[in-house]
Copies of this chain bind each other. A is one copy, B any other.
């Protein structure tokens, strides 16, 4: 009779470099993540107990635990008391992050193109002022862009940024995404408040996206904050739903 399916404990070759400035727990978690991604650690397989793993690597248990915990937080591992730590069964991709449309498209091999329609300073409307936390009628950047994939319009992006944060160069905006520019300017993105909805296209909207008036559009509004809690960007986007939808993985907060 065949033995019942038992998730095997996997022996990996792991190693850490103590002379590296990269934290030890981070080195370990990256190697484990790579092994999961690569398939060396198969879903359901046990990781082996923490104490022995620590001894094998010459690390302390807290350090090993910190590495494992970071992967648990990402949803790649599950720990169970008395049982052990195992790789999650399901096809977990990535938890939802603050994604950039440009990067998403590029990763999907869609070769995105951007057409900057407007790049100017305007007085903040009440709505924009409230979102960015600046005074009404004070100057803010306004950027309107059309994002295309395979030459077809895909999304219309209208963004507002507080002044003084970043130098918005039209040429740069056409070759990369806004988030990448902000990160390059030393802004640490931290969180965002989003709202996703749908509505019928107005005539102006339809024209921009090569749709018909009244066609359904996917809409997204977002305020992005940096690590000090300042609002650094407010955007109103409309997407062609036949060309784009939001896909992401959620984790239950525990």
Contact across chains for A225 and B191 when beta carbons are under 8 A apart: no
* A95 vs B192: C-alpha distance when bound (angstroms): 9
Contact across chains for A97 and B241 when beta carbons are under 8 A apart: no
The stretch among A137-145, A155-163, A244-252 that forms the contact with chain B is A244-252
* A253 vs B74: C-alpha distance when bound (angstroms): 9
CB A127 to nearest CB in B, in angstroms, measures 15
| A128 close to B (CB within 8 Å) | no
Closest to A200 in B: B216
* A43 vs B196: C-alpha distance when bound (angstroms): 27
Size range of the interface on A? 35 or more
Q: Which of A174-219 contact B (CB under 8 A)?
A: 189-200, 214-218
* A88 vs B248: C-alpha distance when bound (angstroms): 25
The 7 closest A-B pairs by CB, nearest first: A89-B229, A216-B216, A197-B245, A198-B198, A198-B241, A90-B229, A198-B218
Contact across chains for A252 and B98 when beta carbons are under 8 A apart: yes
Contact across chains for A191 and B250 when beta carbons are under 8 A apart: yes
Q: Contacts A197-B241, A198-B198, A218-B197 hold; do A191 and B249 have CB atoms under 8 A apart?
A: yes
Residues of B within 8 A of A248 (CB): 193-194
CB A253 to nearest CB in B, in angstroms, measures 5
| A228 close to B (CB within 8 Å) | yes
Closest to A78 in B: B227
